[in-house]
Amino acid sequence: MTPSSQSQPGADTLSSSSRTSRQEARDIYRAVWRWHFYAGLIAIPFLISLAVTGALYLFHEEIDQWIHADLMQVEARNAPTRSPRVQLDAALEAQAGEALRYVPPSASHLATEVDIETPQGEKLAVFVDPYTGDVTGSMPYRGSVMWIIRSIHSLSYFGPTASMIIEIVGGWTILLVLTGLYMWWPRGRRGGVVTVRGRPGKRLFWRDLHAVTGLLVGGFILFLATTGMPWSTVWGSKVNELANGHNFGYPDGVRVNVPMSDTQLADRELVSWSLEQARLPMSGEGNAPAIGLNQAVATFQSLGLAPGFAISLPSDPQGVYTGSVYPDDLSQQRVVHLDQYSGEPLLDMRYDDYGPLGRTLEWGVNVHLGQQYGVANQIILALACGGIVLLCVSSATMWWKRRPSGGLGVPPLPRDTSKLRGVLALLAIGGVIFPLVGGSLIVMALLDALWRRKQPTQAVAH
């Protein structure tokens, strides 16, 4: 027997093992690709909307003040302003009702905002020139263009149930990025990893553009999806409860223990995410005259609240004046409640008073909104949003070019279908963390099983 013939069995075994290994890798890739396709099918239509509305909202102050300049902007003057009470009375004279909120201007060229609930139950934002006391106009409370964009972004514009979709989309988006990263991994390839080959008319161009864009913006997508989850209906509310502890958002030991009402701060004021369940304190017995709005504003200013703070007004004899500010700089985030009779702070909460979880979540939310790092934060996230739109467009174009005539173009099945179950088991980890995502995973798994029964396996190159 020759040496070559003696070595042949080992070579055959090695070749067989190599083929098995390649087939297993191919099966895993196809299983991941299939679920990546399903994740895109669910998330991409919403991702485009989220990216466009999110990019616009990054510049919400600038856009609102430009579009609603006739209401929100006044001529800056080197002159004293009218007292807060005079401005509030001017707003109530123009629009009868109960004043709920008073927002002093944060800059010399801006109007004061007075939020009023009319006798018919409608809430309006009335704007007053602080120098003259003249009313510049009104609009529905939170009725500005950018508030509408924000509500479309969260889907709350379409009702409370629709906002639950955001949690599902957020979870599938995370799965989309993770499966996409696996598919992008070079595995010895050089082309299409960080460069784009071909021309726009070719599918290869769109495949590479999709892969490279995904590499560039994938981290931003993960960050935005994760930091957006605190606003979600199920997961967000549960994490909110955990972060807030047992006293509805007030960390233990902050100032003193004060009587709490059943009214939530969020019912009266736009608050940070971590304070959405916080309850308002109650003022003491009303034996003394109330301090009034002028003194309340002066007290908040003397306490050093950052410009841009808003004041929620007492709604009953036990109510409080609540001054709150959520500026770009998280260290200046603050909520102060004043007893409406003594004028003494009942509770003064700062960002530093939050626990580690609360501080981390608030930082994520502030960066998500494009606030924490100023203009750089806005520009970087706006570019990321543009990249997300490009990612979605390239994926749709790539799918359109490879889809079979009259078919959906679902990626081919692996030969070993157990790999599908293995990938699904890994994805289920995300489903446990995000319950609504878990429910949608079960639905998609059932639909995929039905689809496999009806469709033959089709080998499609990627």
Is 40 contained in some domain?
A: no
For residue 123, the enclosing domain spans 75-143
Q: What is the pLDDT of residues 259-290, one digit of tens each?
A: 677 777 777 777 776 677 677 788 877 677 89
Domain boundary among 143, 166, 199: 143
Confidence of residue 1 (pLDDT cuts 50, 70, 90): very low
Question: Rounded to two decimals, what is the model's pTM?
Answer: 0.87
Give the pLDDT confidence score for residue 247 in this predicted structure: 45
Domain boundary among 121, 143, 165: 143
Task: Please check whether residue 311 is in contact with residue 258, taking contact to mean a CB–CB distance below 8 angstroms.
Answer: no
For residue 189, CA distances in Å to 19, 29, 211, 349, 412 come to: 19, 15, 13, 54, 21
Beta-bridge partner residues of 440: none
Is 80 contained in some domain?
A: yes
70: left (phi over 0), alpha (psi -120 to 50) or beta: alpha
Q: Please report, for the domain that includes residue 139, its CATH number.
A: 3.10.450.40
Q: Read off the tokens for 143.
A: 């009725």
DSSP 137: E
Confidence of residue 38 (pLDDT cuts 50, 70, 90): very high
Q: What is the C-alpha to C-alpha distance for residues 130 and 135, in angstroms, rounded to an integer?
A: 9
Dihedrals phi, psi of 413, to nearest 5 degrees: -75, 145
Is 301 contained in some domain?
A: yes
Selection from 407, 392, 462, 450 nearest residue 176 by Cα: 392
Total tally of structural domains belonging to the chain: 2
Q: What is the pLDDT of residues 297-309, one digit of tens each?
A: 999 999 999 999 9
